Amino acid sequence: MLLHFIVNPSAKNGKCKKIWFKIEQRLRRHRIDYHVAFTQEQGDGTKLAQQFAEQKHEPFILIAVGGDGTIHEVMNGVAKYDHVAVGYIPAGTGNDFARGIKFPITWRKALNQMLLSVEGIHVDSYDIGAFKSTKQGVFVNSVGCGFDAHISRKANASKWKQILNRLYLGKFVYVFYLLKEMFLYKPTVIQLTVDQKQYTFSKAWLVTVANHPYYGGGMKIAPFAQSNDQRFDVVVVDDVSRLKLLSLFATVFWGGHIRMKEVHTFQGKHIHICSDVPLPLHADGEQIGEGDITISVNKQIRVLK
């Protein structure tokens, strides 16, 4: 069987390119036929994946190699096609999708498992979410609005990120903006609707709609979320002091934050978030603009395990 790969060479601060060369050696050694396309800029993952899906009429396997941004883009290209099974080799900095579906988070182990799986073609079905705001699309990990999207927007726009990325210190940019913006960001009134029930939060910092527990490179933002239960876990941080917010960012690594009284959790299939002030939004860590957003469960997608 011919395997199709979409590789983001820039993932993991450019290390993904070297990872791909090693993957290629293994494929050749196993005499596996493959075809590869490289992304050249943001958005290419979606375009290439859609082109593959439209060209092929028989079932085929499309494997994304990169980080969460890469699998996000590839899923956006193929979510509406039933004849595609998606594979994922984690080769990014965060790799939360792999954690979320309990797939190995190192490229070597993931490749080994996938090579076994390809022979038997073992696929599992997973939920993906659909969002509609000024942009629309699907997500595999989470959609977030408010403070976290604000931080990632600031960090991505920073000239320091590119410089520090080259030194593999890119994460410090997020920490810098987290500490700085904590004192500048103004929490807002948010109206949240979960399956027709309405809730109002007067000083909301952030709302995360999660498909599985992981976020931001291993933080357990929604510890009980499951990626195959056809619903989302919603986490709201409201009316928290700036000092306590800092401790929240420490406890979120093991999921301890959900015991705080300022953290509210819900579960549902249809979520609407609106606010008087347009809130920054992200889907799987990718910027998707700002404003009100509606999120619903998309049909499941088949993933190679």
Ligand X SMILES: Nc1ncnc2c1ncn2[C@@H]1O[C@H](COP(=O)(O)OP(=O)(O)OP(=O)(O)O)[C@@H](O)[C@H]1O
Binding site for ligand X (CB under 6 A): 8-12, 39-42, 44, 66-70, 73, 92-95, 217, 285-286
The residue number whose beta carbon is nearest to ligand X equals 67
For ligand X, which is the closer residue by CB, 160 or 199?
160
User: What is the nearest approach in angstroms of ligand X to the Cβ of residue 16?
Assistant: 7
For ligand X, which is the closer residue by CB, 44 or 181?
44
For ligand X, which is the closer residue by CB, 161 or 264?
161
**Which of 31, 99, 33 shows the shortest CA–CA distance to 68?**
99
Q: CB neighbours of 112 closer than 8 A, spacing ≥ 6?
A: 104
For ligand X, which is the closer residue by CB, 99 or 257?
99
d(C-alpha 286, C-alpha 73), whole Å: 9
DSSP state of 278: P
Query: Are 165 and 147 within 8 A, CB to CB?
Result: no
User: What is the nearest approach in angstroms of ligand X to the Cβ of residue 11?
Assistant: 3
User: What is the nearest approach in angstroms of ligand X to the Cβ of residue 39?
Assistant: 3
For ligand X, which is the closer residue by CB, 22 or 30?
22
d(C-alpha 232, C-alpha 222), whole Å: 9
User: What is the nearest approach in angstroms of ligand X to the Cβ of residue 183?
Assistant: 26
Strands (E), the chain: 3-7, 34-38, 60-66, 84-90, 123-126, 129-132, 136-139, 142-146, 188-194, 197-210, 214-215, 219-220, 232-238, 263-268, 270-275, 280-283, 286-290, 293-297, 301-304
